[in-house]
Amino acid sequence: MARDLHSIRNIGIIAHIDAGKTTVTEQMLYMSGTKHRAGAVDSGTTETDDDPEEQQRGITIFAACVTFRWKECSVNLLDTPGHVDFTAEVERCLRVLDGAVVVFSAREGVEAQSETVWRQANKYGVPRIVFINKLDREGADFYRVLEEIGPRLGADPVAVQIPVGQGPSHTNDPFRGIIDLIDMKFLTFNPEDSGRTVNVQEIPDELVGDAKDWRNVMLEKLYTHSAEMMELAMEEKPIPAELIRKTMREACIAQVIQPVFCGSALHGVGVQPLLDGVTHFLPCPLDRPPVEGCDPKKPDKKLLRKPDPKEPFCGLVFKILPAKTGDMFWIRVYSGRLESNSRVYNPNRDKKENVAQLWQIHATKKERQGQIDALECGDIACAIGPRDSITGDTLCDTRDMIELPSIQFAQSVISMAIEPENTTERKKLAEVLDMLKRQDPTFHASENSESGQTIISGMGELHLEVIKNRLVRDFHLNVKFYKPRVSYRETIGSAAEVTGQCNRQVGSQNLFARLQVRFEPLEDVSAKVIVLDRTPPEKMLPELQRQAALEELRNRAEGGGLVGSFPLTGIRISVLGAEMAEVGSDEIAFRIAANDAFDEGLKTAGPALLEPVMKMEISTPPDYLGEIVGDLQQRRGLIERTEARGAITNVTALAPLKELFGYSSAIRSLSQGRAGCSMEPSGYQIAPQQDLDSFAM
C-alpha cells in the first residue's frame, strides 16, 4: 500500500543562537510521546546535542535529525545550529526541507543570525512559521518582536496567537497562557506534567476585547488571499475556523505570510499548538513544486521530478558523517524509490555507487532497530555504501539520469597552522583531515610546501577551536597548534593595459607571441575573477592558440596573486588583441605570453589586500555602551545602528575580522559579563597599507 505523502512534514528549526531551538525540538519529542522526559541544554541531556563539544558548550554545532509522529502526521525534523561559524549546517538543511519553524527570543527579538537564516530560507523558497519563545523571561515583549519581523526581514507575519501576560512569575502581569485567535479560546498548560496537559477555556471577559482586535488584524491580512472569506465578511457572516486554516495554509505555502505562535518552550507552554501549526500550515512534499535538474549529458536540457514513487529515483546527499562501519550519507529522496542493496548513479562524479544499507536517523546516529529496506519520495534517511559522493551530489536512477543543483557554501575566513610531531602522526593527520573535509564543506586543509605546516581554514575562531579539540580529544593526535590568522584575498587597485610577450629560442625553434590584456577592478571586490576574450574579429587568434591563452589566464587567476599567494577576487581580465608569426606561434608560445601578461598586469595595476569584515550585533546594558563603542572604534569598527530594546541596547557594527580575535573575552571584561555579541561575515574591504607591506616584504 502506497504511503500517504500528505501526512509527511520535513521541517527544520532555525534561529539565532540561544533563541531556544534545541529546547523546542526536545519539547516536541516529549509532547509527541517519543521521549518520556524532556532533556535540558544546560545539563547536556538533550537528544539532538549528543556530541561532547555540544554538551560542554551548551550550543548546537552539528545539525541533527529526529523523526516522530504528531497526530496523523510523520515529522522529519532537523535541529540546526544558531552560531554563524556553523551556518553551513543550516544551508544544507534548508536545501532539502519543505518547511521551517523560525524561533525568536521574546527578549532579544530579531538578531543578526536571525536575518541570516531568514535569507537562507528565502534563497531556497522554504515556507515558514514563527515561534516567539521565552515569554516568561524578564524583558519579554511579544508585540515588539512581532513588529520587528516585518521591516527587518521583509516578511509579513500574522499572529494566530497572543500571550496572556509577559515576563516571569514575580512580575505584576506574568506570562500564564495563550489566546488562540482562530478558535477564540484561552489555553493554559499544566506545569505538573511540563505542559503536556492543555486546558482549553473560554477567554476571560477582560481579555475578549484585545482578542477580537487581534483576530480582526489576522482576518484583514487573510481577506486578500481568499475570495470566500472576503464574501463572508462583506455579508457579515461568521467565518469558519477551517476556512481560516485553509486560507492561512495556502498563503503560508505561497510564502506571502508567516503564521506567528508564542510560548515558553522550556516549560512546555505553547509547544503543542506549535506542533498543530506544523501540520496545519507547513507543506507536505506534494505541496512543493517538482524538483528541477538537468540532463547530465545535455546540461541545457531541463528535467523535472515529481514527488511520486512511480517516477525514476532521484535524491540529494546533503550531509556526510564519517563512521568506522562506513560513512553515513544523509539523503533527501525527491522522487521514486531507493532500495537497499541497489546501485545508483552519481552524475556529479560520473560514477555508479552501491547502496548497501538504509537506516533511519536519530540525532546524528543510526537509529537503533532502524534499518529499513527502502526509501520513498519525501523520506530523509541515511545510506551506507557510497564511496565517491560528497555533500551536494545527486544520486539517481542509472537509466533515467538527472543532476540536481548542488549546495553552495560560504568561503572560509580564518586559518590556523598545525604541525604533526613526527612522520607517523603526519600520515594519521592527513587521514583525519580528509575525513573532516568530507563531513564539513566549509573546512579546508592544505600543506604549505615551504614550511611543511598544514594550514586549516574555517568560518571563525569557534569553528577552528572545535576542530582543534576534536583532533586532540576524538582522534588522539599529537599536533602543535599556532595562532589563528585571517584568510585574506587579493585584488588590484586600478585598471591597467599590458602586453605579454614570448620571444625565446627553444631548441632550434624560435617561439613568438604577443598578447594585449586589460586588467580592471570590479565593483564587487569579493566576486570571482572574470576572464573574457574581447579581441576584434580581424585580430582573432586560431582556436587552439586562443583557448591556450584564455586557459592559462584562468589557471593563473585560480592559483592566487603576487602577495602571499592569496586567492584573487574582484578582477576582470580581458584579452584585447594578439600578434603571431607565421612560424613558432603555437599554444606554448601563447601560454608563455599569457603568463607574462598576468604577472605584468598585477604589478602595473597595483596589488591590493582584502580583509574579511564581520557584521556584529552587540546586546548590552546602557551603562556599558560608551566603553563598548569606544573599544569598537579602536578596532576600526564602524557603528551602523544603536537601538534601545527595553533594558537592553543593541549595537549593530562592521569591523575587520583581524581586530576581533578574542573579542568575546574582551566584551565580557568591558561589561562585567553582562553584554553579548554575535557576528557573521559581511564581505571584504581594502586592508590597511601596512598589512600589504608586511606580506610584500
Assess contact for 472 and 418: CB atoms under 8 A. no
Same fold, 5-287 and 291-396: no
What φ, ψ does residue 336 adopt, rounded to 5°? 70, -155
CA of 482: how far to CAs of 3, 21, 465, 468, 567, in Å?
Answer: 54, 34, 12, 11, 22
Instruction: Using the predicted structure, report yes or no on whether residue 664 has a pLDDT greater than 60.
Output: yes
Contact yes or no for 679/84 (Cβ under 8 A): yes
**How many whole angstroms separate alpha carbon 217 and alpha carbon 347?**
50
Q: What pLDDT, on the 0 to 100 scale, is given for residue 306?
A: 94
For 43-58, what is each residue's pLDDT tens digit?
Answer: 778 888 777 888 888 8
Topology adopted by domain 610-696:
Alpha-Beta Plaits (3.30.70)
Question: Residue 1: what pLDDT?
Answer: 45
Q: φ, ψ for residue 334 (rounded to 5)?
A: -95, -30
Burial (CB count within 10 angstroms: exposed 0-12, middle 13-18, buried 19+), residue 170: exposed
Half-sphere exposure of 540 (CA within 13 A, CB side): 5
Of all residues in the chain, what percent carry a pLDDT higher than 90?
65
Q: Using N-to-C axis directions, what is the helix angle for 87-96 and 112-123, rounded to 10°?
A: 30
- Helix 587-605 and helix 543-559: axis angle, to 10°? 40
For the residues 552-564, what does the mean pLDDT come to? Answer: 87
- Which tens digits make up the pLDDT trace of 63-91? 899 999 999 999 999 999 988 788 889 99
3-state helix, strand, coil in the chain (%, to 5): 30, 35, 35
- 178-229 pLDDT per residue, tens: 999 999 999 999 988 888 999 999 999 999 999 999 999 999 999 999 999 9
Give the torsion sign (CA, 436, 437, 440, 446).
positive
Contact 32, 275 (CB under 8 A): yes
For 356-370, 406-420, 559-573, which range has the lowest pLDDT when averaged over its residues?
A: 356-370
Are 569 and 608 contacting, i.e. CB atoms less than 8 angstroms apart?
Answer: no
Contact 139, 167 (CB under 8 A): yes
Q: Predicted confidence band at 137 (pLDDT cuts at 50, 70, 90)? A: very high
- Over residues 309-368, the pLDDT tens digits come to 999 999 999 999 887 778 899 999 999 999 999 999 999 999 999 999 999 888 777 665
Structure-block grid coordinates of residue 116: 541570516
Q: Are 564 and 695 a contacting pair, CB within 8 Å?
A: yes
- Taking only the tens place, the pLDDT of each residue in 19-45 is 999 999 999 999 999 988 888 887 778
What's the burial of 375, exposed, middle or buried (CB within 10 Å: 0-12/13-18/19+)?
buried
Q: Which of 32-46, 114-128, 472-486, 681-695 has the highest mean pLDDT?
A: 114-128
- H or E stretch covering 158: strand 157-159
pLDDT digits (tens, 9 = 90+) for 140-189: 999 999 999 999 999 999 999 999 999 998 888 899 999 999 999 999 99
**CATH architecture, range 491-605:** 2-Layer Sandwich (3.30)
CATH class for the region spanning 291-396 = mainly beta
Task: State residue 89's pLDDT score.
Answer: 92
Dig out the grid coordinates for 268 from the structure.
512546555
In the block, residue with C-alpha cell 571586490: 525
Quick: pLDDT tens for 476-535.
Answer: 999 899 888 888 999 999 999 999 999 988 777 889 999 999 999 999 998 899 999 999
User: Smallest Cα–Cα separation from 111: which of 667, 666, 650?
Assistant: 650
Q: Is the pLDDT at 369 greater than 60, yes or no?
A: no
Distance set, CA 636 to CA 462, 632, 645, 657, 688 (Å): 22, 7, 26, 10, 11
Residues 6+ apart with CB under 8 A from 425: 477, 478, 479
Predicted local confidence at residue 44, as pLDDT = 77
* CA 77 from centre of chain: 16
CATH 3.30.70.870 fits 414-487, yes or no: yes
- Closest residue by Cα to residue 180 from 218, 149, 146: 218
- Label residue 290 by pLDDT band (50, 70, 90): very high
Whether 655 and 614 have beta carbons less than 8 Å apart is answered as yes
Q: Phi/psi at 298 (nearest 5 deg)?
A: -135, 85
pLDDT in tens, 259-287: 999 999 999 999 999 999 999 999 999 99
Q: Residues 6 or more apart from 507 whose CB is under 8 A from it?
A: none
Share of the chain above pLDDT 70, in %: 98
Q: Map out the domains of the chain as residue ranges.
A: 5-287, 291-396, 414-487, 491-605, 610-696
Give residue 340's region: left, alpha or beta (phi > 0; psi -120 to 50): beta
What does the mean pLDDT of the chain come to? 91
Beta bridge partners of 504: 511
Q: Reduce the secondary structure of 423-478 to three states and give it as a string.
A: HHHHHHHHHHHHHHHHHCCCCEEEECCCCCCEEEEECCHHHHHHHHHHHHHCCCCC
Q: Which residues contact 210 (CB under 8 A, 6 or more apart)?
A: 162, 179
User: For residues 667 and 628, what is the distance between their CA atoms, to the nearest angstrom?
Assistant: 7
SS3 379: coil
Nearest to 678 by CA among 145, 94, 108, 151: 108
Q: Computed over its alpha carbons, how large is the radius of gyration of the chain?
A: 29
* Amino acid present at 322: P
Question: Residue 188: which H helix or E strand, with range?
Answer: strand 185-189
**Helix axis angle, 142-153 relative to 112-123, nearest 10°?**
50
Whether residue 650 contacts residue 144, with contact meaning beta carbons closer than 8 Å, is answered with no
For residue 513, which amino acid is it? A
- CATH fold of the domain at 5-287: Rossmann fold (3.40.50)
